[in-house]
Amino acid sequence: MGTRWTCPGPSLLVLFYYGHLLPWLRTEGDQSSDDFYNETMAKIFLQYYENTTRVVWNRFMEASWNYVTNINQQNLEEMLLKDMERSQHMLFFGTQARLFKIARFQDPVVKRMLSKLQNIDKAALPKDELREYNKLLAYMETMYSTAQVCMNEGPCLPLQRDIEEVMATSRDQKELLWAWQGWRDAVGPQVRMTFERYVQLSNKAAKLNGYEDMGALWQSTYKSDTLEQDLEHLYQELQPLYLNLHAYMRRALHRHYGPELIDLRGPIPAHLLGNMWAQSWVNILDLVLPFPKKPLDDITRNMKVQHWKPEKMFIEAENFYTSLGLLSTPPDFWRKSMMERLADGREVECHASAWDFYNGQDFRIKKCTEVTIEDLFSIFHQMGHIQYFLQYKNLSVIFRAGANPAFEEAVGLVITLSVFSHKHLLNKGLLSHQHQDSEEEVNFLMGIALDKIAFIPFAYLMDLSRWKVFDGTIQKDVYNQEWWRGPLACAPPIPRTEEDFDPAAKFHISASMPYLRYFLSLVLQFQFHEALCKATGHMGLLHRCDIYNSKMAGKLLEDVLKLGSSKPWPEVLEKITGETKVSAKAIMTYSKLLNWLVTENVQQWEILGWPDFSCYFEEKETDKVTFLSLELDPNQVNFGQWVLLALSFVMFLVALLLACRLHSLEKRSPAQDTSVQDISTLEIPPKAYFLGIAMEPRQAVKRWSCWASNNRKPLWMKAEWWSWD
């Protein structure tokens, strides 16, 4: 089957919407239903899918773009409408795709396409639940994108860039705690209730697609039976790197913040690491520099001095890709992308992302760029996505994706490894030192480690934790507690409760985006880097390699990107690296810093990790105390306890007196009873007792019914007495 498709225009779309596609297919086939779903018909069916999908998806992407770059009700409704159209389209073609007898087919491309079409994700939900699901997905993402942290008597600040800036630059722990807590308070509780319903509907959609739960559906993207074991193996290989870096950081922060904040045997409090999620520690490099007398150049400052602008940062990234002989972006990219936060006051989603509009010519990036080295790398990363889009734009829409999601992330990341080399930054005029001595090199490698190695557990445990939420291992009443056992190594700076919902403070959780891709691409980028450097003919240490201008490296990359997801990813990986498995070997080779870290840590007798530190979860400290299920002030509780004590003492005395009274009456009654029997012939009326006092039965009944006030006969009372009038 060819991979170029011509657009038939909207008439086919109309045909599809009125449900005439299948009858048309049947007429064309002119065969019995059983024979109808054959390979020839499959090709015609796929052609229809191709033609209509381009239009439907393009409309959805346009509506989504309009919403995230101008958040308002009208744009939200338009986006939800187009999302429903897309889901209906997916449902229709997905359901039909399941009817073809793929096992009997010869063409592997047709087989692969049809099997990909069969997974229809959320479109499998009944219409009303799908509408509800789309709304709550939009709600959670919008809550995250528009949340702000308000000062006591001042303005409210958005996450990007203000609150992130505080986390990156402040060294005042109180201020850091304010930003850290403020962001979680602004997002978490609002998302929590919706999140529980989100989990239910996600799982329902997954089950309708034939998976146990949504975690299993996400994992299925990687088509591996050994995925969990392979991930665990990679993680264990990388653990020594992370733990040595962590121990070194803990010692350095202990020097800065002192023992009140840093326990040399415990985890590092999450607000002191220079990042809202503690996933990258590079912003506090100045506090932990191995050789502080040889500080690294401040590249952000150099960029500002040289009057860099956001557009120049994009041009730099474009130049790098084209220097490798790769494709340049079309003119519309520069016209339609959102490269800076818009100045007209509209609400926008600032989380950086790259967009493919499925018409082969419209590709955009959305980013609220600031002139910083961090944003420069982020742009190189996003341009990696755009390069992938450009390379596979001629494939069927079914194959317009990375070999697996981690490949999509790794393209931009592998380029940043070259961009951040001393050689490249020097060529770009962003460094002043011509040469790096060995101490400067250790400082440089520390900067890389704080970005890449620090990210290892966060990237790995994020989805491990979410899979457990989806499969029910983590129940909704312990969402927050379990989150702190996961990606953030039990280190909240203040106690957290189940009224908080800290996972929602991370974009990918509020926006329902799988995260495993970031763990795998963290490893994969080094594997790619090693292969591309080899193709370039680079000799020597891996961190000194810069593939800029290398057409050989570009060709190797291009051959892989062009394949999109048309081949199984191990095959694609082999094409570029010669290996069929993701391997930690290259990242370990690159991280020469490990030897230096180990030597340092041994000298300091450091304990790796926090072995005697159990992952605690305290209730938040509060002035209120629970007493008889009531939240009261401690003084009120004190008073209440004394009252209860006095009451129980009085009750005890009353019970004691009653017992004595009953005892004495019991002693006397046998004598009385005997006398009654002896003179029974005299017809003396029987006696009854009320609270141990002998009296006429009629009186006893009156008193009892008054006292008990329920007009029920006590068991011990004779029936004839009770019925007395």
Residues in binding site for Zn(2+): 381, 385, 409
Q: Are 517 and 405 in contact (CB under 8 A)?
A: yes
Q: Are 156 and 149 in contact (CB under 8 A)?
A: yes
Pair of tokens at residue 499: 């009224």
Considering the complex, what minimum distance in angstroms separates the CB of residue 467 from Zn ion?
21
Considering the complex, what minimum distance in angstroms separates the CB of residue 167 from Zn ion?
21
Considering the complex, what minimum distance in angstroms separates the CB of residue 20 from Zn ion?
40
Q: Are 248 and 288 in contact (CB under 8 A)?
A: yes
The nearer residue to Zn ion, 409 or 546, going by C-beta atoms, is 409
Considering the complex, what minimum distance in angstroms separates the CB of residue 401 from Zn ion?
13
Considering the complex, what minimum distance in angstroms separates the CB of residue 122 from Zn ion?
22
Considering the complex, what minimum distance in angstroms separates the CB of residue 27 from Zn ion?
45
Smallest CA-to-CA distance from 368 within 337, 336, 324, 332 is with 337
Smallest CA-to-CA distance from 524 within 557, 547, 498, 500 is with 557
In the bound state, the residue with its beta carbon closest to Zn ion is: 409
Smallest CA-to-CA distance from 205 within 99, 132, 140, 96 is with 132
Q: Is 591 exposed, middle or buried (0-12, 13-18, 19+ CB in 10 A)?
A: buried
Ranges assigned E (strand) in 77-229: 148-150, 156-158
Considering the complex, what minimum distance in angstroms separates the CB of residue 513 from Zn ion?
10
Q: Are 13 and 56 in contact (CB under 8 A)?
A: yes
Considering the complex, what minimum distance in angstroms separates the CB of residue 386 from Zn ion?
11
- Judge if the upstream peptide bond of residue 161 is cis by omega within 30 degrees of 0: yes
Report the C-alpha gap between 449 and 406 in whole angstroms: 20
The nearer residue to Zn ion, 48 or 518, going by C-beta atoms, is 518
Considering the complex, what minimum distance in angstroms separates the CB of residue 411 from Zn ion?
9
Considering the complex, what minimum distance in angstroms separates the CB of residue 521 from Zn ion?
8
Report the C-alpha gap between 305 and 298 in whole angstroms: 11
Question: DSSP states of 364-391 as a string?
Answer: EEE----SSHHHHHHHHHHHHHHHHHHH
The nearer residue to Zn ion, 536 or 565, going by C-beta atoms, is 565
Report the C-alpha gap between 366 and 338 in whole angstroms: 5
Report the C-alpha gap between 484 and 170 in whole angstroms: 24
Smallest CA-to-CA distance from 359 within 51, 116, 17 is with 51
The nearer residue to Zn ion, 145 or 601, going by C-beta atoms, is 145
Pair of tokens at residue 568: 């199984």
Cα 333 to chain centroid distance, Å, stands at 29
The nearer residue to Zn ion, 355 or 483, going by C-beta atoms, is 355
Pair of tokens at residue 63: 């509506």
Report the C-alpha gap between 505 and 653 in whole angstroms: 58
The nearer residue to Zn ion, 318 or 409, going by C-beta atoms, is 409
The nearer residue to Zn ion, 410 or 445, going by C-beta atoms, is 410
Which residues sit in the known binding site? 222, 381, 385, 409, 517
Return the amino acid letter for 11. Answer: S
Considering the complex, what minimum distance in angstroms separates the CB of residue 381 from Zn ion?
6
Considering the complex, what minimum distance in angstroms separates the CB of residue 124 from Zn ion?
27
CA angle 290, 296, 298 (to 5 degrees): 135
Smallest CA-to-CA distance from 329 within 342, 313, 314 is with 314
The nearer residue to Zn ion, 354 or 398, going by C-beta atoms, is 354
Considering the complex, what minimum distance in angstroms separates the CB of residue 512 from Zn ion?
16
Considering the complex, what minimum distance in angstroms separates the CB of residue 507 from Zn ion?
12
> Which residues of this protein are in contact with Zn ion, per CB under 5 A?
409
Q: Is 181 exposed, middle or buried (0-12, 13-18, 19+ CB in 10 A)?
A: middle
Which residues sit in the known binding site for chloride? 222, 517
Q: Which residues pair with 694 in a beta bridge?
A: 689
- Residue for token pair 């899979």: 467
Buried b / exposed e over 286-306, threshold 16 CB at 10 Å, is ebbbbeeebebbebbebbeee
Report the C-alpha gap between 474 and 478 in whole angstroms: 7
Q: Are 241 and 248 in contact (CB under 8 A)?
A: no
DSSP 162: I
The nearer residue to Zn ion, 466 or 508, going by C-beta atoms, is 508
Q: At what angle do helices 39-68 and 73-97 cross, to 10 degrees?
A: 170
Question: DSSP states of 217-229 as a string?
Answer: HHHHTT--TTHHH
- Which pairing describes strands 156-158 and 688-690: parallel, antiparallel, or unpaired? unpaired
The 3-state DSSP composition of the chain as helix, strand, coil percent (nearest 5) reads 65, 5, 35
The nearer residue to Zn ion, 385 or 428, going by C-beta atoms, is 385
